[in-house]
Amino acid sequence: MTKPAAYLLLLLLLLTARSPADSPDAGARAPSNSAVAVAPFARQVTARAEFVVYHLKAPAPAALASLRGVSAAIDGALRVVDQVPDQAVDLTATIREIGNPKVDFPVPDADQLQYFGRGISKEQVASVAASVSAWHLVFAYPARQAGSALAVADRSVLELARLADGLIWDSETRLMYAPDAFASARVDAPDAGSNVIQQTTIHAYQDEDYVRAVSLGMSKFGLPDLVIEEMSWATQTQLGWLMVGIAQQMVEGAEPDAAGMFAFDAAAIRHAQVREKVSADPIGEATFKGQFRLVTVAPDEGDADNALLAIGFDAYAGNDNFARQGAAAAEVFGWHDEIKRIEHDDELTAASAAARTQLPQLRRDFEAGLQPAEYIQVKAPFPTSSNGREWMWVEITRWEDDVIHGLLRNEPFDIPDLHAGQKVKVDPDEVFDYLRRFADGREEGNTTGAVIERMQGEIETDGSD
């Protein structure tokens, strides 16, 4: 299936293997992630947002006086308190000075800040690592007023960071910002307080054979975070935007029904920027609508300390969950596929043989571990109902001596019981070609593709065109 290429979620998908130590304030989580039940949808009455402002220079101004000064400058929209209440009726904030942030709120190292840093220079990376003081801020507010409250909270944090010449750590999203980057994303942008693209993030990372994608930051709206337990790198862009769309609808008040079914509808998203990005680049007659079951699950180690809802695909047909994901993505975002019926000739056979010489190195690279968002596909034959063979691409999930495990990336034309996304097995001796997609979007391989393009043959197409 053809996938839309625009908007690669560079600000949303932190494509990195992850451990609890990746964040200054991550703690122990539940030991495993398993479905619990379809539970009544619950929005918290009070929501909270936490930040750490790391000082790049010493001495820093007095914390409490600084926060009170910021509160006065914004006409009392923020009430400074000694301790935020369990049940907030307005926007309140507390601040405390951290004399030893290396112990209480350790800073991510330089390698981690490549993923978790926004607008931070090399000099600032070095300075924040040596920081000897910081401010810890907690904001509490009615969850139903989260959009306006977060706008004020973000503005306040920005002013404090500029006052103290500091960097901003958002504890919920586990992102660190330079003040100018924070201003651009969270203060100057229209309606940034209610924009899940700016207020939340998605961690997508390799979890054994597959990819797990989980949101962080929905607690700032008093809402559960979202997770897709198993998917592939080839589908993470579309499914990531699906997560964004569902999250934005939840922020705007949409809820699942009593059975946990959530009616996703991109056109119903009120936030214009989010709506436009979620529905960008449709393929054919994409519906940008779908039905998805939200099921309460236990968080994995390293997830947010928040309720968690898994997005389920049982409303769609398919022989396994990956095929159902493929069917859902095809309905929501559209799809296109084509087949060319040809007879193999000497030139094509030679191109295939040349491609196969790369397989041993590809396997070594795969087993050593690919970069996040990098994946390898192989083209292999599948028997058809007419005793022929249909050659299709398979994204590799596991590579053994006598079998390659993967997910089918084409919708078959001549095999009714097989569908795009489905788990399949491939004989390594029958691999015809390979295609390697790197994390930066470069591609390598598919040498047989150019030969096939020049060959004469009947072309058939299918999809939502």
Residues 48-62: pLDDT tens digits? 999 999 999 888 899
Q: What is the mean pLDDT of the chain?
A: 90
| Strand 308-312 with 225-231, pairing | parallel
Largest CA distance in the chain: 80
Pair (178, 79) in one structural domain: yes
| Residue 4 pLDDT > 60 | no
Q: Specify whether 293 is located in the same domain as 369.
A: no
pLDDT in tens, 153-175: 999 999 999 999 999 999 999 99
Same domain, 314 and 347: no
For 369, the token pair is: 């571990």
Tell me, yes or no, whether 7 lies in a domain: no
pTM above 0.75, yes or no: yes
Task: Give the whole-angstrom CA distance, residue 135 versus residue 149.
Answer: 20
In the predicted model, is pLDDT for residue 361 greater than 90? yes
pLDDT for the residue numbered 277: 96
Q: Which domain holds residue 391?
A: 338-463
Boundary-marking domain end, from 144, 169, 188:
188
Q: How confident is the model at residue 281 (pLDDT cuts 50, 70, 90)?
A: confident
d(CA 286, CA 464): 7
Task: Tell me what pLDDT residue 59 has.
Answer: 85
306 and 363 both lie in a single domain? no
Total of domains in the chain: 3
Q: Please tell me whether residues 398 and 321 are part of one structural domain.
A: no
Cβ pair 239, 52 in contact under 8 A: no
With 90 as the cut, is the pLDDT of residue 241 above it?
yes
Query: Does residue 254 sit in the same domain as residue 144?
Result: no
Question: What average pLDDT does range 364-372 have in this prediction?
Answer: 95
State which of 154, 188, 222 marks the end of a domain.
188
Domain assignment present for residue 71? The answer is: yes
The arithmetic mean of pLDDT across residues 291-297, rounded, is: 96
Give percent of the chain above pLDDT 70. 91
Are 58 and 165 contained in the same domain?
yes
Instruction: Specify the 3-state DSSP secondary structure of 366.
Output: helix
Q: Is the pLDDT of residue 297 over 90?
A: yes
In this structure, the answer to whether residues 415 and 383 fall within a common structural domain is yes
Q: Is the pLDDT of residue 13 over 60?
A: no
Looking at the fold, whether 354 and 293 belong to one and the same domain comes out as: no
Residue 229 — pLDDT band, cuts 50, 70, 90? very high
Does residue 324 sit within a domain?
yes
pLDDT the model gives residue 39: 53
Helix (H, G, I), strand (E, B) or coil at 364: helix
Residue 11 has pLDDT above 50, yes or no: no
pLDDT of res. 115: 86
Residue with tokens 């072309």: 459
Q: Please indicate, yes or no, if residue 6 is contained in any of the structural domains.
A: no
pLDDT at 212 over 80: yes
Q: Last residue of a domain, which of 314, 333, 352? A: 333
Shared domain check, 153 and 120: yes
One domain for residues 301 and 183? no
Beta-sheet pairing, 92-98 with 404-408: unpaired
Confidence of residue 464 (pLDDT cuts 50, 70, 90): confident
247 shares its domain with 269: yes
pLDDT grade for 37, boundaries at 50, 70 and 90: low
Count of helix runs (H) and strand runs (E) in the chain? 13, 23
The yes-or-no verdict on residue 75 having pLDDT over 90 is: no
Q: What is the pLDDT of residue 40?
A: 56
